[in-house]
Amino acid sequence: MIATAFNLPRLRVNRVLGGTIVALLIAVAVFGPYLAPYDPLALDLKARLQGPSTAHWLGADEFGRDVLSRLLYGARTSAWIAFATVAFSITLGLAIGIAAGYFRGWTDRLLMMVNDALLAFPGLLLALGFMAVFGASRWGIIVALGIAYTPVVVRVVRGTVMSIRESEYVEASQVMGNPEATTMIRHVLPNCAAPVLVLATTMFGWIVLSESALSFLGLGVPPPAPSWGNMLATGRPYIGQAPFLVIFPGLCISVTLLGVNMFGDALRDWLDPRMAA
């Protein structure tokens, strides 16, 4: 009773602010192109590196392209890549993690050996390797980052599955006569939701940052198409003259991360039956 009283305001902030930011992000990703005042690829050399003004609200980049328009278009690219990558590696990770945690024995040992070997490499390095294979395209980025981050998901899922497997309600389901697959889907999987959701929202942040890093290294979304990551990267040489070129994309990334993480917390609490009074 006391605990809920303390938690309530924080919960509401998560839900309201997180929800608003995520809704905004989706709206921008969907309607961005209609809202953008300029063509994101239109060059205007006269406006080169111009600061924010009434013509260009958020300024213009080194080729005189409108920063606001590029951010709006970039939202679509960045959000899409992040969502798709998270979905990809959560799906893959859930499948592998559940197989390992459930069958245990040799299956587990083999899967974990490969998984731990992959975990030993920094995610970005791994992604770079895959990018070399898949080539620098949207799909290449999604698959490369997706595979690179899967081992983390596998670890979390396997641990959760193993602990849930031992619980008495799973044993009760076995004694009842449920087939193993039913036990898995009805009792084990739903109880994995909380940790996986938290991981998914955290990963969303890593992916946006990794995509920026890849773009920064010239392996991300190929120019001239805008993404928040490559805008950040291409703005870097002009940081002294036109700091807004990195500030605005940076701000977009930070606010998105904050919103997604808060939304994730709210979602986890909402899905947790113990929180519903």
Tell me the C-alpha distance between 269 and 263, whole Å: 10
Binding test (CB under 8 A) with another protein, winner from 171, 180, 237, 255: 171
Q: Is 3 in the site for another protein (CB under 8 A)?
A: no
Residues in contact with 16: Cβ distance below 8 Å, sequence separation at least 6, in sequence order: none
For the bound state, the minimum distance from the C-beta of residue 197 to another protein, rounded and expressed in Å, comes to 14
Task: List strand residue ranges (DSSP E) for 156-236, in order.
Answer: none
Comparison of 125 and 176: residue with beta carbon closer to another protein: 176
Residue type, 243: P
Q: Can the peptide bond before residue 222 be classed as cis, meaning omega within 30 degrees of 0?
A: no
Report the candidate in 80, 69, 87, 81 with the shortest Cα–Cα distance to residue 32. Answer: 69
Q: Considering the complex, what minimum distance in angstroms separates the CB of residue 4 from another protein?
A: 13
**Cβ neighbours for 167, distance < 8 A, ≥ 6 positions apart:** none
Q: Closer CB to another protein, residue 174 or residue 202?
A: 174
The residue written with tokens 């050399």 in the block is 45
Gap between the Cα atoms of 73 and 84, Å rounded? 17
Query: Based on CB atoms, which residue is closest to another protein, 78 or 183?
Result: 183
Candidates 9, 105, 177, 240; binder of another protein (CB under 8 A) is 177
The encoded tokens of residue 160 equal: 């959760």
Q: Which of 120, 125, 176, 181 binds another protein (CB under 8 A)?
A: 176
When the beta carbons of 240 and 273 are compared against another protein, the nearer one is 273
What is the pattern of x (binds another protein, CB under 8 A) and - over residues 119-158? Answer: ----------------------------------------
Residue whose CB is less far from another protein, 133 or 175: 175
Name which position in 63, 108, 178, 202 contacts another protein (CB under 8 A): 178
| Residue ranges with strand state E in the chain | none
**Does residue 187 belong to the site contacting another protein (CB under 8 A)?**
yes
d(CA 22, CA 248): 18
Among 13, 110, 114, 172, binds another protein (CB under 8 A): 172
From the CB of 173, what's the least distance to another protein, in Å? 7
Cα dihedral angle (207, 209, 213, 219), rounded to 10 degrees?
Answer: 40
CB neighbour list of residue 219: distance below 8 Å, 6 or more residues apart: 128, 131, 136
| Total binding residues toward another protein, as defined by CB under 8 A | 19
Q: What is the largest CA-CA distance in the chain?
A: 76
Is residue 105 close enough to count as binding another protein by CB under 8 A?
A: no
Does 167 bind another protein (CB under 8 A)? Our answer is yes
Residue ranges in 196-215 that form contacts with another protein under rule CB under 8 A: none
3-state secondary structure of 60: strand
Of the candidate spans 91-99, 162-170, 211-219, 261-269, the one that interacts with another protein by CB under 8 A turns out to be 162-170
Residues binding another protein (CB under 8 A): 2, 167-169, 171-178, 186-187, 190-191, 273-274, 276
